[in-house]
């Protein structure tokens, strides 16, 4: 993840990435790096295209993680999730892809 100085998306208009592979996940400095705590992202409207039928496949994601020195910047993460909308994949597979990328 880039440092806060190199954040490319925060504070400006950015197009949705064409695919998850093109998406950039930005990070910002954790203001409490010595404190253990959980961060939660919820994505109640995740969609991807079923690779068999081409129909939308819906999921509700709840993602928890414990940050160290960096926090995942939420705007870049939302854009990353939106980039799956035109992908042909099962949402169960996307769950693992997203978890590994974070």
Phi, psi of 60 (to 5 degrees): -115, 110
Would you call 94 a catalytic residue per the annotation?
A: no
- Of 50, 64, 66, 94, the catalytic one is 50
- Of 36, 57, 64, 66, the catalytic one is 57
Torsion angle in degrees (nearest 10) through CA of 32, 36, 37, 41: 80
Query: Which residues sit opposite 72 in a β-bridge?
Result: 27
First to last CA, the chain: 9
Residues marked active site are found at: 50, 57
């Amino acid at each position: 993840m880039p440092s806060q100085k190199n954040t490319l998306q925060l504070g400006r208009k950015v197009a949705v990435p064409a695919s998850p592979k093109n998406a950039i996940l930005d990070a910002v400095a954790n203001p409490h790096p010595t404190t253990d705590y959980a961060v939660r992202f919820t994505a109640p409207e995740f969609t991807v295209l079923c690779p068999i039928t081409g129909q939308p496949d819906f999921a509700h994601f709840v993602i928890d993680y414990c940050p160290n020195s960096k926090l995942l910047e939420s705007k870049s993460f939302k854009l990353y999730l939106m980039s799956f909308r035109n992908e042909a994949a099962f949402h169960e597979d996307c769950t693992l892809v997203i978890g590994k990328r974070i």
